[in-house]
């Protein structure tokens, strides 16, 4: 079943952005399984939820952000799971994991498995790979590497009403969101992993700013 569901997910992920493509999905799967083993969670539910957690991305993109990929994905996942011999309890848990994984939604993960998917998804947004994704996205919208206005803009930015501009640097993404992610982890294992990635990001940002200012 895992292989079949993975194939379906890959098909549905075609055309997704580089920041949320298959590399991201697989990273979330590996992180989620690592946390799940440490937390004694349901490995099957976690792996399936990880594979399907972003299948609503393309629909969200096609709607130009009018739909929520977590909600769209949970609806799509329900239809996919109907074709597999999975218990109703596991199906509902998987659907819940997908529906509550998004950082900006107010839906709180309820099950242990949902908390693990939330943590794994957030972990892939921080650390070395998180910064790489932030700079990649900034390049896609034509942003500069650095403007010097990041801390000021971070105080003004409202993610729910904000349109990306050339001032949306990777550093701004760190100031607005990434530096707060570690504090939002929901599992003990997630917190340990997040603290390491947070420290790496902090060191990188500090070194970056020192180099920009000629190490003054």
The enclosing domain of 153 has a CATH number of 1.20.58.1910
Residue 20 has pLDDT above 60, yes or no: yes
* 152, 108: one domain: no
For 5-16, what is each residue's pLDDT tens digit?
999 998 888 866
pTM here is 0.89
For 158-191, what is each residue's pLDDT tens digit?
555 455 677 788 999 999 889 999 999 999 999 9
Residue 120 inside a domain? The answer is no
Q: CA nearest 9: which of 19, 189, 24, 137? A: 24
* 93, 31: one domain: yes
* 50, 106: one domain: yes
* 1, 97: one domain: yes
Residue 119 inside a domain? The answer is no
d(CA 22, CA 14): 8
d(CA 74, CA 80): 10
Domain that holds residue 194: 125-216
Q: Please count the structural domains in the chain.
A: 2
């Amino acid at each position: 079943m895992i292989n079949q569901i993975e194939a379906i997910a890959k098909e549905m992920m075609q055309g997704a952005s580089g920041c949320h493509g298959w590399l991201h999905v697989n990273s979330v799967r590996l992180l989620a399984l690592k946390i799940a083993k440490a937390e004694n969670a349901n490995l099957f539910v976690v792996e399936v939820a990880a594979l399907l957690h972003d299948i609503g991305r393309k629909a969200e993109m096609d709607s130009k952000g009018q739909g929520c990929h977590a909600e769209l994905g949970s609806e799509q996942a329900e239809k996919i799971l109907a074709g597999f011999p999975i218990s109703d309890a596991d199906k509902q848990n998987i659907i819940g994991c997908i529906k509550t994984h998004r950082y900006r939604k107010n839906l709180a993960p309820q099950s242990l498995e949902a908390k693990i998917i939330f943590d794994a998804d957030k972990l892939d947004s921080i650390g070395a790979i998180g910064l790489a994704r932030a700079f990649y996205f900034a390049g896609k919208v034509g942003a500069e590497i650095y403007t010097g206005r990041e801390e000021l803009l971070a105080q003004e930015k409202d993610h729910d009403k904000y349109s990306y501009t050339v001032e949306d640097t990777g550093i701004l993404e760190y100031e607005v969101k990434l530096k707060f992610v570690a504090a939002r982890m929901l599992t003990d294992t997630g917190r340990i992993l997040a603290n390491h990635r947070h420290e790496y990001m902090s060191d990188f940002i500090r070194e970056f700013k020192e180099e920009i200012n000629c190490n003054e």
